[in-house]
Amino acid sequence: MIAIMYADLIDLLGSERSVVHSLKEGMYLFHRGDPVRRLYLVEQGAIHLVRHQADGRGLVLQQASAGDIVAEASIFSDEYHCDGIALTDVTIRTIEKTHFLEYFSSNPQFALSWAKRLAAKVQEARLRGEILSLKTVRERLDAWLDWYGTLPPKGEWRELASAIAVSPEALYREISRRRGNGPAGS
């Protein structure tokens, strides 16, 4: 059913109703408080959804890369609750919120698939909350691996470190320790 939703969404986004945009690294796609007017599909690059804390730190809520929809739950909100920032140079395809909602309302199969997608995203958010409640790098990595099964390729370890809210160096030490190349304990 998810495959049906993606095919329908790609058709919708590939229609004359969609527009392709480019952003340079560091540019904002939207700011917290901006009205939600579009749905975004990343075609190339990566976008972070960041909520800035009172102390200035940014908490990454989502990293959307090629094939991902940015802030998909926001389509049912009036305004964004975080900032969308290009992590790299990005190419995105957009469709107006009104067009998406018309399609959603007239296609029950698509609506059900969309609901399932959002449910999966809720599960991922709960996992992230669980991971962030853990104290050590070891515990956080164990919880991540319990869900995803295996480490991503080495070139994606920085993103993994960000996802489990540890420094890249701490993650590298933990991976090295697990491979028998480093000190025990984290």
- The CA distance from 160 to 92, in Å, is 23
The pLDDT tens digits of the residues spanning 172-182 come to: 999 999 988 65
Q: Is the pTM of this model over 0.85?
A: no
| For the chain, percent of residues with pLDDT exceeding 70 | 88
Which residues, listed in sequence order, are joined to residue 19 by a DSSP beta bridge?
A: 94
Are 91 and 67 within 8 A, CB to CB?
no
Are 7 and 116 within 8 A, CB to CB?
no
What's phi and psi for 122, nearest 5 deg?
A: -65, -45
User: What is the predicted pLDDT for the residue at 12?
Assistant: 63
User: What is the predicted pLDDT for the residue at 47?
Assistant: 94
